[in-house]
Amino acid sequence: MGTPTATSGPEGEAGLDGIDAVLPDYSGACVCNLLPALLDPTDTKPSWLPAAAAEADRVVLLVLDGVGWHQLQRRLHLAPTLAAMTGGPIHSVLPTTTATALTSITTGRPPGEHGVVGYRLAVDGEVLNILRWTTRRGDARESIPPAKIQSLVPFEGHRPPAITRAEFERSGFTGAHLDTIRFRGWRVPSTLVTDVGQLTRAGEPFVYAYYDGVDKVSHEYGLGAHFDAELAAADRLVGDVLSIVPSGTAVVVTADHGQVHVAGDVTPLAPEVATHVQTQSGEARFRWLHAHPGEAAALLDAARAIHGDRAWIHTRDELIDDGWFGPTVTDAARERYGDVALVAKGTTAFTEPTDTGPYRLVGRHGSATPAELDVPLLVGLA
């Protein structure tokens, strides 16, 4: 796996300029292969899966949203529990965004197969915000049913308990990536820990849990003091989980993506590019441009001429052919991609007027840099 050069950057992060795009190892150490490895009843386990997880009779898979491998390595002094666990880095998927990566974790498939190909998807002439499950017209759970977007059965047909935020229970995205599971909603972190303890002591062989605090803090505050404090809190959460589960339980920690401190490095589309664009999907660090009819070639030329120093710019077919989204891309997934992708280099973010939220995002993700793609796979044994 690619590793960035440790040069100076925002809040001590590694510099990202001059780094080549890194593609996920979809056939190896990747989050899309983690669940099949954990649930495989045979003794044949991949070499990248730590032995403690491979040999345990009981497993808790805890996904810490936004905890990238490289950000963690620079803060191990703040995370003694994670630092003491065994394992190393594995890959997320592309784009390195929550909706896509969580769906790859729960279905065990690359994005090209499950079809949740980004944070904002082009669907039937509209742009669907996957996490909010809204379009410009509002709630889209009836007009765009979750099963239309993602119909693969999660957890290989098992129905494990899944512990995630209580307010997510009836969301469209939950329907898309956690359908058929036994939902357990947590209100505050202590209730997540309590539920894990109750379920494992009751004999559940596999429990899935999701915590999103680090990602939320990164988006609003970047990779400074607030991020450090929340990472330390997440580490204490992991320690609490280890302390409450029965002896012999393997607590497996991974993440959906890492982070980049963008701050003010925000770029709108140049007018010469925007004139060819009918709509945009994706997100600021993996922006899809959908061309006006007959203007895809002109859009590509303009984007490369003007934004080529700040992004890897490719057509949909180029990315698919090069395996960015896995070895197989379904027709449904292909239709959701735009004509041209701006995959941000460095700390750049490409703004889009309708892609807004309650605050300015300081920390972001989505692109193909090691800072975003490399995530931890760590195991602690209770």
- 91-134 per-position pLDDT tens digit: 999 999 999 999 999 999 999 999 999 999 999 999 999 999 99
- Of 175-184, 312-321, 358-367, which range is least confident? 358-367
261-311 pLDDT, tens digit per residue, is 998 899 999 999 999 999 999 999 999 999 999 999 999 999 999 999 999
> What is the second-level CATH architecture of the domain 10-262+366-381?
3-Layer(aba) Sandwich (3.40)
In this prediction the pTM is 0.95
Contact 186, 165 (CB under 8 A): yes
Task: Give me the CATH topology for the region 266-359.
Answer: Gyrase A; domain 2 (3.30.1360)
pLDDT surpasses 80 at 14: no
CB 177 within 8 A of CB 154: yes
Q: E strands of the chain, at which residues?
A: 58-64, 86-91, 120-123, 126-129, 134-135, 138-139, 161-165, 182-186, 206-211, 249-254, 260-261, 266-268, 277-283, 286-291, 311-315, 340-344, 349-351, 363-364, 374-381
CA 34 to each of CA 129, 176, 254, 326, 376: distance values in angstroms, whole numbers, following the listed order: 26, 19, 9, 15, 12
The mean pLDDT value for 3-13 works out to: 35
Q: What's the Cα-to-Cα distance from 296 to each of 142, 209, 211, 325, rounded to whole Å?
A: 32, 42, 40, 21
**Mean of pLDDT values over 180-205:** 97
Alpha carbon 221 to chain centroid, angstroms: 19
Q: Which residues have C-beta within 8 Å of that of residue 206, sequence separation ≥ 6?
A: 38, 39, 58, 59, 60, 61, 155, 158, 160
pLDDT computed for residue 17 by the predictor: 62
Structural domain boundaries of the chain? Answer: 10-262+366-381, 266-359
What percentage of the chain carries pLDDT values higher than 70?
95
3-state secondary structure of 109: coil
Distances (CA, A) of 261 to 27, 110, 195: 30, 26, 33
Is a pLDDT exceeding 60 seen at residue 74? yes
Say what the pLDDT of residue 264 is.
86
Look at residue 355 in the predicted model and tell me its pLDDT.
84
Nearest CA-CA partner of 133 in 118, 150, 145, 151: 145
Burial class (CB in 10 A: 0-12, 13-18, 19+), 339: buried
Residue 281 CA to residue 266 CA, distance in Å, equals 17
Classified as helix, coil or strand, 16 is: coil
pLDDT at 43: 78
Question: Of the candidates 229, 252, 239, 220, which has an alpha carbon nearest to the alpha carbon of residue 362?
Answer: 220
**Percent of the chain predicted with pLDDT > 90:** 91
